[in-house]
Amino acid sequence: MAKVAVTGSNGFVGGNIANMLLAAGHEVLGLVRSEATKPLPWKTLVTDLSSTQSLTEATRGCDAIVHSGIANDFNKLQQNRSYAYDSFVGLTQRVTHAANKNSAQVIYISTGWVMDGTGHMVPESDTGNPVNFYGVLKSLGEQVIRDLAPETGVIARVDGVMGIHQTLEVGPRTQDVGFGYFASALVADLKAGKTFTVFGGELVNKVTAPSLASEIGAQIERIVSRKASGTFHLVGDDAINRMDYARLICEIFELDQSLLREAEPPLADQFPGNVPVDTSLSNLVTKKALGLGATSLKDLLIALRTEIDTGKITAITKPEALQ
């Protein structure tokens, strides 16, 4: 078993990663900026994320560091470039330096938004061509891993992430121009008998290969257990557009498709920058490297329904540490 530090463990993706690592028997340490408002299933340690020394001390004895923490106030990121650069690139540099000093594996959570949106099911070897500041920041973070940890570092790209939040007792966030929270927001509205407007037009991310947060956690666990390195795409097997995705969600959750609408996102929901049209990622190399089975979109949505119905995360990939 490994000891794994996780930045962003109180967030959506990071919380699922921490929970899946913990369920597999690994020791998990959440690196947080301040004390958690409620007890978490894993240990946390208040850490000065602006200090390489603090990160190094906090992660001493760790076998791996999963860096999933981000700043997600996109307007602030655009308006304050120094803040944006330090929150993404600077922090990734500090985390990677700390990992190297402690001979730990560093796993950087990236995104399909490093792509320009002109490709389809792009392979793991594609280094990207971002079209907005968020994609640029994440792409620069990827380059930090390539430069500072070329032999041991991991770039783990995710996209269209669905699932339940592990640390917040709140309802799903509303739909945005990407695919994050799309499924949960749709299910919540249609279960309540409300209509759901699927964003369309030229200002949205139209195609993705959706992933499930708990499944991302399970695949990260496999990366840790195998001490793998390189670039991985932790996504499902199938690419889909927004409206077909909405209809499939209705089918799996037995919801009324007649409540679906389509319209351009209102001004308040538009992204302050260009949006890549197609961010679908191929996972063929990842599947082979990690020994993964099929993860069809239907199976991921069935797992999501189990999560929403029971409140328990339901990954398809089984923990390697327990096999």
pLDDT in tens, 75-132: 788 889 999 999 999 999 999 999 999 999 999 999 999 999 999 999 999 999 999 9
- 321 has a pLDDT exceeding 70: no
- 168 has a pLDDT exceeding 90: no
The candidate with the shortest Cα–Cα distance to 48, out of 62, 31, 30, 35, is 31
Alpha-carbon distance 298 to 238, whole Å? 9
Alpha-carbon distance 42 to 192, whole Å? 34
Residue 14, domain extent: 3-322
Whichever domain contains 43, its CATH number is 3.40.50.720
Written as six digits, the tokens of 240 are 């889909």
Domains in the chain: how many in total? 1
- 153 has a pLDDT exceeding 70: yes
What does 14-42 look like in DSSP terms, one character per residue? HHHHHHHHHHTT-EEEEEESS--SS--SS
Least confident of 3-7, 191-195, 247-251, 311-315: 311-315
Task: Please state the rounded mean pLDDT for residues 70-78.
Answer: 82
Residues in the chain: 323
Count the Cβ atoms, other than its own, within 10 Å of residue 10: 23
- Determine the pLDDT at residue 36: 73
Contacts of 249 (CB under 8 A, 6+ apart): 183, 186, 187, 255, 301
Residue type, 304: L
**pTM of the predicted model, to two decimals?**
0.96
- Determine the pLDDT at residue 323: 66
Q: Which residue has the higher pLDDT, 71 or 253?
A: 253
The candidate with the shortest Cα–Cα distance to 178, out of 107, 99, 245, is 245
pLDDT in tens, 204-263: 999 999 999 999 999 999 999 999 999 999 999 999 999 999 999 999 999 999 999 999
Distances (CA, A) of 204 to 5, 29, 111, 198: 34, 36, 16, 10
Task: Please state the rounded mean pLDDT for residues 132-158.
Answer: 97
Paired sense of beta strands 230-233 and 154-158, if any: parallel
